[in-house]
Amino acid sequence: MTAGERAGRGAAGGGYRVIIIGSGISGLFVALEARRLGPVLVLTKGSIDDCNTRWAQGGIAAAVGPLDSVESHLKDTIDAGAGLVDEVAARVLCSEAPGRIRDLVEYGVAFDSLGGEVALGREAAHSRARILHAGGDRTGAVIEAALGGDAVRDPAITVLDFTLATRLLVEGGAVVGVEALNLADGTFEEYRAEAVVLATGGAGQLFSYTTNPAVATGDGIALAFRAGAEVADLEFYQFHPTAFRRNGGPPFLISEAVRGEGAVLRNTKGEAFMERYHELRDLAPRDVVARAIVAEMKATGSNRVVLDCTHLREVNLAARFPGIYAFCREQGIDMQREPIPVSPAAHYLMGGVRTDIDGRTTVPGLYACGEAACTGVHGANRLASNSLMETVVFGKRVVERMEAGGGGAAAPTPGVEAISTGGGAPDVAVLQQLMWECAGIERDRAGLQRGLDALAGAPAADSPPGRERYEREQMAVAATLMLTAALARTESRGAHFRRDYPERDDVHWLRRQVFRHAD
């Protein structure tokens, strides 16, 4: 349904207990948990299922196996984060993960089983098999369908799709609501609530080659930053090593779980190369694998490597990875008999709107969870499949904080740097190519400065008010913040790699970067 068709379910301009911006797993989970507190409004600029969640293939991580433990999950999370993981937040994630799996089951999510027990897979940098899947490689879509169905049917939850949040309403230093544009008729409306939750997802559309859907334009970061909230860790953007790469073909994600089953990366000469880069070979951390692939592509003069599954005779790939298998067949590839061409693509933002472990931002009344938020749980490099779990663990805590009385805000960061993101908003395709070249897998001072100069000198968006214009403006804000953070961090750490500073520098940079708006 459109926003207009659903408007009758809630009083436009009236008060809500909670307004949620975004309809991925974090937004829908918060909506379902918060409905007992009062009327809930969900605003989403696309359709209700147009989000990153439905494309999540790898699964969701939780220490539920008999040989696993919270401490093991915690250690793997901290190790992957390259020294910058907030251990308090990570302990919350790992210790509360099993309980959130039970919540998802109660909401109707059917996780895959084997022999009557939940089936657990292993992915890169995990020391144990602790990844739960649903529908094989369709975990995100299964979760989205279960939560979305409940949300749409519940009279306590109003869902307005094709409704774009354009501004957070701030009064007396607190967020009290949202200004939104009805994309169907071009009208603006203000919606007020006791609390607003940003669940807008990531910012993959900042780059020309990405696994993210078109809605991932960094909206939550821009909205929060302009409202005075702190943002953090924006230099740490994760590039997934294996996205489908063929001229004319879409950059479809080939899940890390395929390598977890034993698939091997080979260069165009047919050489298995990962043993030259890391002791974990094909299951090394994602940043290591992505840079290794870039090095091999340069060495062979190719724009791709291949992922070889042809030796996996004991794995039914069509059953284990139905979505990937079907996609490859559509592209004329039988992954059981021939390798898949792949290369890295923009995938996941570790940074975002800074929150405490209850999802509170530094502005009263404003919460954030999911990829839009930054609790510090991922540090400089996300551990595979912690992202879906993060949405429900901290989404639950957002609602528990509201139920306990809410109020307050995350403590401000001492000495936080105040910056401006003034400047223009270049055409989206121009911005995407600029970011891929200047802030991609490998960076340096000259490129990052070139990106900042280009954004500062770009003309303002002059198109009529609408989705295209607001996304251009919000993407420009998010891109400026990412470039600024990457330029300032003169070292290489986790997903942030500087060619001109290739070494990790714990003396000067064992710390997070936090910014707020200069105004």
Q: Is residue 447 part of a domain?
A: no
Would you say residue 263 has pLDDT above 60? yes
Q: Is residue 502 part of a domain?
A: no
Cβ atoms of 65 and 129 closer than 8 Å = yes
CA distance 220 to 200: 5
Q: What is the DSSP string of 5-50?
A: HHGGGS-TTSEEEEEEE--SHHHHHHHHHHGGGS-EEEEESS-TT-
Q: Which domain holds residue 33?
A: 13-54+141-233+348-403
Domain count, the chain: 3
333 and 252 assigned to the same domain: yes
* pLDDT value, residue 54: 47
* pLDDT value, residue 9: 38
Q: Is residue 510 part of a domain?
A: no
**What CATH number should be reported for the domain holding residue 284?**
3.90.700.10
Would you say residue 43 has pLDDT above 60? yes
pLDDT in tens, 404-440: 987 789 999 999 999 998 788 999 999 999 999 999 9
Of 347, 366, 390, which residue constitutes the final position of a domain? 347
pLDDT in tens, 53-74: 444 556 899 999 999 999 999 9
Three-state secondary-structure class, residue 155: coil
Would you say residue 48 has pLDDT above 80? no
**What CATH number should be reported for the domain holding residue 204?**
3.50.50.60
* pLDDT value, residue 462: 80
Mean pLDDT of the chain: 92
Helix axes 386-403, 139-153, angle to 10 degrees: 30
* Sign of the torsion formed by the C-alpha atoms of 52, 347, 391 and 318: positive
What's the chain's Rg over C-alpha atoms? Answer: 22
37 and 168 assigned to the same domain: yes
Least confident of 246-255, 308-317, 490-499: 246-255
Element (H, E) at 292: helix 286-300
- Residue type at position 20: I
* pLDDT value, residue 143: 92
pLDDT tier, 3 (very low <50, low <70, confident <90, very high otherwise): very low
Cβ atoms of 394 and 94 closer than 8 Å = no
338 and 353 assigned to the same domain: no
Percent over 90 (pLDDT), the chain: 82
Q: Is residue 425 part of a domain?
A: no
212 and 185 assigned to the same domain: yes
340 and 355 assigned to the same domain: no
Write down the pTM of the prediction: 0.93
The DSSP bridge pattern shows strands 174-182 and 163-171 to be antiparallel
Of 101, 133, 165, which residue constitutes the final position of a domain? 133
Would you say residue 300 has pLDDT above 60? yes
Helix and strand element counts for the chain (H, E): 15, 21
Q: Is residue 201 part of a domain?
A: yes
Give the residue among 467, 502, 498, 466 at the shortest CA–CA distance from 485: 498
Cβ atoms of 230 and 515 closer than 8 Å = yes
340 and 352 assigned to the same domain: no
29 and 148 assigned to the same domain: yes
CA distance 169 to 161: 20
243 and 363 assigned to the same domain: no
Of 347, 370, 393, which residue constitutes the final position of a domain? 347
The arithmetic mean of pLDDT across residues 185-190, rounded, is: 96
332 and 203 assigned to the same domain: no
184 and 260 assigned to the same domain: no
pLDDT in tens, 271-296: 999 999 999 999 888 888 999 999 99
Q: Is residue 498 part of a domain?
A: no
Give the residue among 418, 396, 370, 400 at the shortest CA–CA distance from 229: 418
CA distance 136 to 279: 28
Q: Which of 130, 245, 281, 286 is flagged as catalytic?
A: 286
For residue 134, count other CB atoms closer than 10 A to its CB. 22
Q: Is residue 461 part of a domain?
A: no
Q: Is residue 427 part of a domain?
A: no
161 and 122 assigned to the same domain: no
Residue 286 is among the residues annotated as catalytic for this protein: yes
pLDDT in tens, 331-361: 999 999 999 999 999 999 999 999 999 999 9
Q: What is the DSSP string of 356-392?
A: -TT-B-SSTTEEE-GGGEE-SSSTTSPPTTHHHHHHH
* pLDDT value, residue 2: 42
Cβ atoms of 21 and 223 closer than 8 Å = yes
* pLDDT value, residue 115: 87
pLDDT in tens, 444-456: 999 999 999 999 9
β-bridge mates for residue 180, sequence order: 165, 189
The arithmetic mean of pLDDT across residues 96-123, rounded, is: 94
120 and 92 assigned to the same domain: yes
281-319 in b/e form (b: 16+ CB < 10 A) is: bbbbbbbbbbbbbbebbeeeebebbbbbbeebeebebee
